[in-house]
Amino acid sequence: MQQLAKVEDIDPADRLVQAEKYFLTGDETAKNKLIELMGAQSGSTIEVSIFYSTLTRWKEAAAILKMVEPPQNQDPWGTPPIYYYTLAYALNQAGDAQSAAEYRKKTQAAPFNPNSLRAVYFSLSIINNQPFLRGYVELGDGQIAII
């Protein structure tokens, strides 16, 4: 906890400090500050969950994502499909296949937003250390081509 306090003194907006404080102590104040620092939006939450996913701390990754589960999130265009997909994947990796299946269904029902497509490729580029998506072209009938 002393190391977390030192990092927090240096950077009070460090989201991982708040996440670790919450996971180590169950401190609701740390959880609420983390949600505030993430803007209660799925995109920021996915970024934080990726940290835990890369460490194979799947339960923590899922817990981070669930902090902004609708209706608690502030996504201006609705919760994107990538949020549900990322949560389903984390839950499946954590051994909760039943919950993962429920969130995969929500993925299909989520509103499509071109920014969510960019988020998918941005997330994959981070995980796979690949170049970021350059763009996409809408082909009609909901079809897209990645360029």
Most confident of 15-19, 56-60, 107-111, 112-116: 56-60
Q: What percent of the chain has pLDDT over 90?
A: 46
Mean pLDDT score of the chain: 81
Question: In this predicted structure, what is the pLDDT of residue 104?
Answer: 87
d(CA 78, CA 30): 26
Q: What are 63-81's pLDDT values in tens digits?
A: 999 999 988 888 887 888 8
pLDDT band at 133 (very low <50, low <70, confident <90, very high): very low
Burial 27-43 (b: 16+ CB within 10 A, else e): eeebbebbbebbebbbb
Query: What is the arithmetic mean of pLDDT over 78-107?
Result: 90
Residue 4 has pLDDT above 80, yes or no: no
Spatial separation of the C-alpha atoms in residues 52 and 92, rounded to whole Å? 14
The yes-or-no verdict on residue 98 having pLDDT over 50 is yes
Is residue 54's pLDDT more than 50? yes
Mean pLDDT across the stretch 46-71?
94
Whether the per-residue pLDDT at 120 is higher than 90: the answer is: no
pLDDT at 117: 56
Q: What does the pLDDT read at residue 144?
A: 52
Hey, what domains does the chain have and what are their CATH numbers?
Answer: 1-37 (no CATH), 40-146 (1.25.40)
